Amino acid sequence: MQQKEPKLCKKCKTNKPSIIIQKDPVCQECFIGYVEHMFKMSLRLKCNITQKNEKLLICFSGGQNSTALVKMTSDVVYSTCAHNKSKMFIQAHVLYINESFIMKEFIQEYQPQDYIPFLTNECKLPFQTIDIQSIYPDPYVLLQQLHNLSEFGSSREDFVRLIKLHIIYDYAIKNGFQNICFGQNGQRLAADLFSQLSKGRGLSLQSATKYNYSFVYPINQNKLQILHPLKDLLNKDILYYLRLKSNINFPNFILGQHLSHAVKNKPANGNIDHLLEQFIDKLQEGFPSTTFTVLSSADKITLKPLLQQNYCPLCLEIRDQVYNRLEVETLDNSNQQLINHLRNNTKYYNKICFTCNRMLQSARELEKFYNLQGFPPLIIQLADLIQ
């Protein structure tokens, strides 16, 4: 009986395959070359990073995607890629926002991670660490605000994300960075797309999924570009790449997941973001084209230009006008007297967008939120500038 020849890598025809890429088995060396090639092409052709010495601010959170982003950026800066050794003459700078102050308050088993050896020894990129509470005049106001928000849904994580975005944009402007790189891969972007839609952020589809999205920061009218250079990669690509290229550990904590049994017993700890991530991941396992079908469909959606684009001071997304009856009824009008009181007696109620209103609905001490009492001066300055 004739023995079957052992399968070989579809690309190099020499080594044994170890992973499947687009239905083709490839070896480790060819896989790393594929990932690095996709990253370079995404930066050059889709994110439009073509100028010599162009400055990039790399946002690092310590998660898997941002770690891969930092590692790939280091490889293209120092010409240490596995296959294509061509160097990209870019000035990359890493920004890490330290959330230990919050995590220690809400997560009992939280252990701070030391990322300095990874950034300095392995990646050799200049970096800056900023504590998330540093923009607050009184850091403990941040903890009070998070405790006031509901532990159900994703209100607390949404609020932390908004504070981090303000820190990132402010740092980018003060240090001359026009391009800001985020590390979400295609699979995470697809989940984020559904998450944004479920929260009522339909107008933010472009900023959530595009390779390159530009907007004008209200303070000083600076133009910023949001880049997603890992959009062409999936979770399995990132995980296998890190397995081959780095030994860093990735603890996964959900903010406030230990607070009550009511939250623990809900799917994905009652968090809509994590629930949709699990949904997309399961679909991706059974139907490998899921992620790119979702993203390509999102790219075809065109938004009707608004005559006047007003922004929300919290999320900096376009603040739409609520005209649709279903959308109006989605807002909690069970206490119309309270809503009228907030609208007439708080300074910024009418400047908060639909989705941020949803985030704040279940909060205690609503007047403090809508008067931005205790908020960072940066956010108050934005709210005063925005019409």
The predicted structure's pLDDT at residue 256:
46
User: Residue 252: its pLDDT value, please?
Assistant: 53
> pLDDT-based confidence at 345, cuts 50/70/90?
confident
Residue predicted with more confidence, 295 or 343: 295
pLDDT digits (tens, 9 = 90+) for 83-104: 666 678 899 999 999 999 998 8
What does the pLDDT read at residue 377?
94
Q: Quick one: average pLDDT of 348-370?
A: 86
Q: Per residue, what are the HEC states of the chain?
A: CCCCCCCCCCCCCCCCCCEEECCEEECHHHHHHHHHHHHHHHHHHHCCCCCCCEEEEEEECCCHHHHHHHHHHHHHHHCCCCCCCCCCCEEEEEEEEECHHHHHHHCCCCCCCCCHHHHHHHHCCCEEEEEHHHHCCCHHHHHHHHHHCCCCCCHHHHHHHHHHHHHHHHHHHHCCCCEEECCCCHHHHHHHHHHHHHCCCHHHHHHHHCCEEEEEECCCCEEEEEECCCCCCCHHHHHHHHHHHCCCCCCCCCCCCCCCHHHHCCHHHHCHHHHHHHHHHHHHHHCCCHHHHHHHHHHCCCCCCCCCCCECCCCCCECCCCCCHHHHHHCCCCCHHHHHHHHHHCCCHHHCCHHHHHHHCCCCCHHHHHCCCCCCHHHHHHHHHCC
Where do the domains of the chain lie, and which CATH numbers do they carry? 19-186+204-254 (3.40.50.620), 308-387 (no CATH)
* pLDDT value at residue 261: 46
Cβ-Cβ contacts under 8 Å for 84 (sequence gap 6 or more): 33, 36, 37, 40
- In this prediction, residue 241 has a pLDDT band, given cuts at 50, 70 and 90, of very high
> Distances in Å between the alpha carbon of 349 and those of 113, 159, 300, 373?
38, 17, 34, 13
Confidence of residue 332 (pLDDT cuts 50, 70, 90): low
Contact 95, 217 (CB under 8 A): no
Q: State mean pLDDT over 141-162.
A: 87
Q: Is the pLDDT of residue 262 over 60?
A: no
pLDDT 10s digits, 24-80: 899 988 999 899 899 999 999 999 888 888 999 999 998 899 999 999 999 888 876
**pLDDT at site 334:** 55
